Amino acid sequence: MPVHRPDAAEVLDVRAALARLSPRERACIVLRFYDDLTVPAIAERLGLAEGTVKRYLSDASARLATELHTVADWRAEPTTVPVVAPQLKGAVR
């Protein structure tokens, strides 16, 4: 299976979206998806409860999916499952 190599614009989009997250959301996302840590390991490293880490990951993932339009991108790959981001807590439609 070919490996997707992001172009410069995609990298900048991800960096900008990460910068718009709260510091704790960003830390949880980076530790989970870039450093490949588990929820318990993230909780230990940041001194948070596991449930708190899960909440930060959920909220941040929803914001990133919305901002980066990742659901549409995943449809092109038949081996992935589309994910619909939940509505953000307190979000206005």
For the segment 6-54, what is each residue's pLDDT rounded down to a tens digit?
778 788 888 999 999 999 999 999 999 889 999 999 999 999 999 999 9
Q: Which pLDDT score, from 0 to 100, does residue 51 have?
A: 95
DSSP 31: I
Residue 81 belongs to some domain of the structure: no
d(Cα 89, Cα 45) in Å, to the nearest integer? 26
Residue 61 belongs to some domain of the structure: yes
Residue 1 belongs to some domain of the structure: no
Residue 23 belongs to some domain of the structure: yes
Residue 67 belongs to some domain of the structure: yes
Single out the residue of 70, 91, 93 nearest to residue 82, CA to CA: 70
To the nearest 10 degrees (0 to 180), the angle between helices 50-68 and 8-19 is 130
Residue 40 belongs to some domain of the structure: yes
Confidence of residue 74 (pLDDT cuts 50, 70, 90): very low
Instruction: Say if residues 61 and 29 touch (Cβ distance below 8 Å).
Output: yes
3 state SS of 65: helix
Confidence of residue 72 (pLDDT cuts 50, 70, 90): very low
Q: How many distinct structural domains can be found in the chain?
A: 1
Backbone angles phi, psi at 13, to 5 degrees: -65, -45
Residue range(s) defining the domain that contains residue 12: 8-74
* 43: CATH: 1.10.10.10
Q: Which pLDDT score, from 0 to 100, does residue 86 have?
A: 58
